[in-house]
Amino acid sequence: MTREILLIESDAKLAAVHCEFLVREGYGVRVVSDAQKAIHAVDDLRPDVVILEVQLPEHNGVEFLYELRSYADWHDLPVIIHSIIPAERFKIAESDWKNYGVYAYLYKPTSKLTDLTKAIQEAMES
């Protein structure tokens, strides 16, 4: 059975690259470009993992995360943040990210694509 990933990414070029990579790795991928569409996509796709860029137009990724966790059905859905913004800029403690079910925070400029697959595999096994 194909594992499904919801990729929330507002940069169309990066979304295309990451989608291509994840499909090659054998995952089913749906891409949405903003936080509002993302909540509907979670309900519709019921993904195994969400990959979230926190810098999104209008509602940012942190707001999406808070909303996602407000639904009992999605309390345990693993979220991997894959962002152009370093975690330090949010002034959110690492423990708070974990409390919101963020499995890993990958900073795009220093992470490789293989770091992403490793995080996905670990999140799915957890």
Partner 1 sequence: MLRLDATTDRFLQGTLDDIRASFVTISHASQLIGTDLGDLLTRESAQALQLIESFELAAHNNFGQLMLPLEPVALSAIVQDSLHALWPMAKKSGVELRLSLAGKYTPVMAHQTALLQAMNSIGRALIEYATLSDTREPLVFGVHKTPGGIAAGVFTTQEISEGLSAMSLRSGKALIGKAKAPIASFSSSASSGLLLADSLLVSMHTHVRIGRHGKGWGLATTLKPSRQLAFI
Which residue from 89, 123, 87, 121 is spatially nearest to 105, judged by alpha carbons?
Answer: 87
**Total number of residues that touch partner 1 (CB under 8 A):** 17
Taking CB under 8 A as the rule, does residue 14 contact partner 1? yes
Question: Which H or E run includes 113?
Answer: helix 113-125
Assess contact for 39 and 8: CB atoms under 8 A: no
Query: Which CB atom, from 73 or from 86, has the smaller least distance to partner 1?
Result: 86
Nearer to partner 1, 77 or 80 (CB): 80
Draw the binding track, 35-74, toward partner 1 (x: CB under 8 A; -: no contact): --------------------x-------------------
For tokens 């913004």, what's the residue? 85
Query: Least distance from C-beta 24 to partner 1, angstroms?
Result: 8
Helix and strand element counts for the chain (H, E): 5, 5
Determine the Cα–Cα distance for residues 90 and 14; give it in Å rounded to an integer: 22
Stretch that binds partner 1, among 10-18, 33-41, 43-51, 61-69 (CB under 8 A): 10-18
Is 109 near partner 1 (CB under 8 A)? Answer: yes
